[in-house]
Amino acid sequence: MNGTVNISTRQLRAFVALVELRNFTRAAQKCCLSQPAFSALIQSIEAEAGVRLFDRSTRHVELTAEGQLFEQWASRLLLDFDTAFVNLKDHVTLRRGRVAVSALPTIAATMLAPVLAEYHAAYPGVAIEMFDTLADASLALVREGRADLALTAGKVEHPDFEVHRLFDEPFHLVCRRDDPLLARPTVMLDDLAGQPFIHMVRSSSIRQKIEAELAAVPMRMVMEVAHLATVGAMIESGLGISVLPAQAVPRLGMPSLASRPLGGKPLFRTHYMIQARQRSLSAAAVTFREILLARLKRE
Amino acid sequence: MNGTVNISTRQLRAFVALVELRNFTRAAQKCCLSQPAFSALIQSIEAEAGVRLFDRSTRHVELTAEGQLFEQWASRLLLDFDTAFVNLKDHVTLRRGRVAVSALPTIAATMLAPVLAEYHAAYPGVAIEMFDTLADASLALVREGRADLALTAGKVEHPDFEVHRLFDEPFHLVCRRDDPLLARPTVMLDDLAGQPFIHMVRSSSIRQKIEAELAAVPMRMVMEVAHLATVGAMIESGLGISVLPAQAVPRLGMPSLASRPLGGKPLFRTHYMIQARQRSLSAAAVTFREILLARLKRE
DNA sequence: CACACTTACGATATTCGTAAGGATT
DNA sequence: AATCCTTACGAATATCGTAAGTGTG
């Protein structure tokens, strides 16, 4: 480590200023320094280089042969330095950057969409990467560092992850507006017994939740589908009913569907935000997190 | 000047070392610093950048997202820095460089040639530019900065130039070995009267010196030629005699020529080394000057 | 003699290493 | 308990600005 050069950008800037102005007094002003301090700064570069870089009398300041040589490098070095730092600062100030979020498809389509919109409006220079995928894949992305944050609908217990509880979302009965079930003042869980039921596929976290909580209620499975919109379309067509996260229903944009809270034992899922415990969040991710939490608090 | 980054190569080197080793203790050793001092150095970069660049616990040291970004620049910046400085140091240590000397052709061929050879042997990386030209042109080159040093055979008085006297060189009679003049114990200036004389052209400094000093001795001009070698050949062929700088004669490599000091009033020219007063000499030129002076002192 | 760079010098800020503190495995 | 990073702190070093010195036109 000894014998290596040690030069600061202040010294480089001083050199470049003096090359440009050929005058210690004015170059010192440009560098916001007293003239003697500036003089010392120039001397420190010359000491580091081992040569005089300027010939100076009280009347003239000129580059020496070695100074001319160094001049060719100095401004480019400085430019590269500044470019690197401007780039870095751009990321810190979110003029540029990247944030990656993963979430279950239903969460992505419901809670997350407006947050992403707000974030993008505020920081249009930051690229957003959105993974809408199953819970396990979501967590894997965070673990691998490919996603900064994951939103899940179930608690995760693992030392690798830092978990932050967001809010509870109730499950609602979803059926056609003309369904006889809606005639009752409140629909109880047991009322669903024997009803034709549209399920999500088994890998879906909604399906898993329904199976776990409604195990006691015998229902007729009409079919199982992969996408929420398909569930909606099936209900609309009179094939059956379903029980879905409350926020998901209006997002389907199907006016002939009705959703209704269920009486009896409260049925809900809890949303969590998850991040890797070891890794710190990027500036872009930190701000995304803040916007997400602020929006939830607001509602 | 405020708001600008100020980073030193020490900080860069610390960053790069820590990226490489992922361990504060070992990276500190590599930088010849105590571990706390090294830690502070890393913190100073982070403060300058406005972000954490490393996530560290006692067990793991990892780059943050911003650290990864900066990593891409850091090593290249450092490399450019070192390249610039190595290049500069190469010139300071004369591994590379350029020196330009101008001199009268006779001086170049006599006094200067062995100096150039010695210099080139010692510093083969330094390019030598040799201008053999008339005195006025020689001085112009120095004034314009195209030559570092000039060697002249006459004193120059001008505030732009710094003049250093080298040595006196006598003028000798040059004639054929069988010339009757050589029969005399000593040849006096007056003995040359009526002799057939080979002159250099009028622009030559030798001619000017001869005309000024030998005005009183009437000689027969047989011819005037531009080059010293031509003078020699003419004498060899028996066309006449001449009076030339002593060192020039053996350089002609003409064994049938004889040279002899002249008795009476001493006839000589004085050599000077000249450099620009304002400009400092490059490292290459300083060393050339030293070698030149050392060689003259040696002889 | 006026202007411009250097040197001198005391005050302030930075940086160093040693030693103690705290966290992780 | 061992390892490793951070904090604390006094000492050494560096840097600053003011003021005096020096040389050049």
Question: Tens digit of pLDDT for each residue in B194-205?
Answer: 899 999 999 988
Single out the residue of B174, B231, B238 nearest to residue B201, CA to CA: B231
- The secondary structure of residue A191, as a DSSP letter, is G
Mean pLDDT of B207-229: 90
Return the closest-CA partner of residue A199 out of A182, A223, A169, A229.
Answer: A223
Report the Cα–Cα distance between both ends of chain A, in Å, rounded.
57
Whether A68 and A122 map to the same domain: the answer is no
Q: Does residue A156 sit in the same domain as residue A186?
A: no
* Rounded CA–C1' distance between A37 and C13, in angstroms: 14
Residue at which a domain ends, from A23, A49, A83? A83
Choose, out of A77, A81, A89, A93, the residue to mutate when testing the contact with B (most B CBs < 10 Å): A81
DSSP A176: E
CB contact under 8 A, A81 and B5: yes
Q: pLDDT value at position A242?
A: 96
Residue nearest to nucleotide D19 (CA to C1'): A36
In a domain, A230, yes or no: yes
Distance, CA of B244 to CA of B250 (rounded, Å)? 11
CA A153 – CA A270 distance, rounded (Å): 5
Which among B2, B73, B282 has the least Cβ separation from residue A66?
A: B282
> B174: domain range?
170-267
Query: Each residue of B10-47: pLDDT tens digit?
Result: 999 999 999 999 999 999 999 999 999 999 999 999 99
Q: Nearest to residue B125, comparing CAs of B90, B166, B81?
A: B90
For chain B, what's the residue count? Answer: 299
| One domain for residues A174 and A257 | yes
Q: Which residue has the tokens 């007094």?
A: A25
Task: Give the pLDDT confidence score for residue A2 in this predicted structure.
Answer: 54
Contact criterion met (CB below 8 Å) for A209 and A234: no
Q: Find the CB nearest B70 among A10, A30, A88.
A: A88
Q: Determine contact, residues A126/A99, Cβ cutoff 8 Å.
A: yes
Q: What CATH number is associated with residue A16?
A: 1.10.10.10
- What is the pLDDT at residue B3? 67
Rounded, the Å distance between the CA of A59 and C1' of C5 is 9
User: Is residue A89 in a domain?
Assistant: no
Identify whether the C-beta of residue B236 lies closer than 8 Å to the C-beta of residue B138: no
Q: Is the CB of B24 under 7 A from strand D?
A: yes
Q: Which residues of chain B make contact with A84, given a CB cutoff of 8 A?
A: 70, 73-74, 77
- CB contact at 8 A, B224 and B199: yes
What's the structural domain count of chain A? 3
3-class SS of residue A145: coil
* Nearest-CB residue to A66 (from B7, B83, B91): B91
Strand D nucleotides in reach of protein CB atoms, 7 A cut-off: 3-9, 15-20, 22-25
Kind of pairing, strands B126-132 and B242-245?
unpaired
Q: Is residue B2 part of a domain?
A: no
- For residue A130, give the 3-state DSSP assignment: strand
Statement: residue B251 has pLDDT above 90: no
- Distance measured from the CA of protein residue A37 to the C1' of nucleotide C9, in angstroms: 13
Read off the tokens for B294.
């050392």
The distance from CA B269 to its chain's CA centroid, rounded to whole angstroms, is: 23
> A218 to chain B nearest CA, in Å?
51
B115-152 tens-digit pLDDT: 999 999 999 999 999 999 988 899 999 999 999 999 99
Domain boundary among A51, A83, A115: A83
Asked if A212 and A134 sit in the same domain, the reply is no
Residues A188 and A263 in one domain: yes
Positive or negative torsion for Cα A193, A198, A202, A207: negative
Asked if residue A92 is part of any domain, the answer here is: no
> In angstroms, how far is CA B243 from the centroid of its own chain?
31
Residues 124-183 of B with CB under 8 A from A: none
pLDDT at position A116 = 96
Q: Does one domain contain both A275 and A161?
A: yes
Does B4 reside within a domain? no
Find the residue in A nearest to B73 (Cα): A84
H/E stretch holding A68: helix A65-92
Residue A285 token pair: 């991710």
The whole-number pLDDT of residue A148 equals 96
Q: Is residue A176 part of a domain?
A: yes
pLDDT at A3: 67
Q: Which of B66, B76, B83 sits opposite A92 (nearest CB)?
A: B66
CA distance A171 to A266: 8
User: Contact at 8 Å (CB) between B285 and B292?
Assistant: no
Residue A58 placed within a domain:
yes
Task: Check residue B1 and give its pLDDT.
Answer: 52
Taking the Cβ of residue B285 and every Cβ of chain A, the question of whether any pair is shorter than 8 Å is answered with yes
CA distance B3 to A89: 12
Q: What token pair was written down for A261? A: 């809270």
Mean pLDDT of chain B: 93
All residues at 6 or more sequence positions from B74 whose CB lies less than 8 Å from its CB, including other chains: A84, B12, B15, B16, B19
> Are A57 and A40 contained in the same domain?
yes
Q: Are residues B154 and B136 in the same domain?
A: yes
pLDDT at B102: 97
Q: What is the pLDDT along chain A (299 residues), one digit of tens a residue?
A: 556 889 999 999 999 999 999 999 999 999 999 999 999 999 999 999 999 999 999 889 999 999 999 999 999 999 999 999 999 999 999 999 999 999 998 899 889 999 999 999 999 999 999 999 988 899 999 999 999 999 998 888 888 898 999 999 999 999 999 999 999 999 998 888 889 999 999 988 899 989 988 888 888 999 999 999 999 999 999 999 999 999 988 888 899 999 999 988 888 999 999 999 888 999 999 999 999 999 999 87
Select from A83, A116, A147 the last residue of a domain: A83
- Are B240 and B179 in a shared domain? yes
Cβ of residue B87 closer than 8 Å to a chain A Cβ: yes
Q: How far is CA B257 from CA A184, B74, B179, B238, B269, in A?
A: 138, 70, 9, 10, 22
Specify the pLDDT at position B2.
55
Tokens encoding A222 = 């009409």
CATH number at residue A141: 3.40.190.10
pTM: 0.85
Query: Same domain, yes or no, for A158 and A281?
Result: yes
Q: Are residues B128 and B204 in the same domain?
A: no
Can you give the pLDDT at residue B292? 96
Q: How many residues does chain A have?
A: 299
CB A150 within 8 A of CB A102: yes
Taking the C-alpha atoms of residue A257 and residue A107, their distance in angstroms, rounded to an integer, is 20
**Is A188 at the interface with chain B, CB within 8 A?**
no
Verify that A199 and A66 share a domain, yes or no.
Answer: no
- Average of per-residue pLDDT across B244-261: 91
Q: Do residue B49 and residue A85 have CB atoms under 8 angstroms apart?
A: yes
Nucleotide nearest to B34 (CA to C1'): C17
B90 domain residue, yes or no: no
Q: Which of B24, B61, B50 is nearest to B39 (CA)?
A: B24
Q: What is the 3-state secondary structure (H, E, C) of chain B?
A: CCCCCCCEHHHHHHHHHHHHHCCHHHHHHHCCCCHHHHHHHHHHHHHHHCCCCEEECCCCEEECHHHHHHHHHHHHHHHHHHHHHHHHHHHHCCCCEEEEEEECHHHHHHHHHHHHHHHHHHCCCEEEEEEECCHHHHHHHHHHCCCCEEEECCCCCCCCEEEEEEEEEEEEEEEECCCHHHHCCCEEHHHHCCCEEEEECCCCHHHHHHHHHCCCCCCEEEEEECCHHHHHHHHHCCCCEEEEECCHHHHCCCCCEEEEEEECCCCEEEEEEEEECCCCCCHHHHHHHHHHHHHHHHC
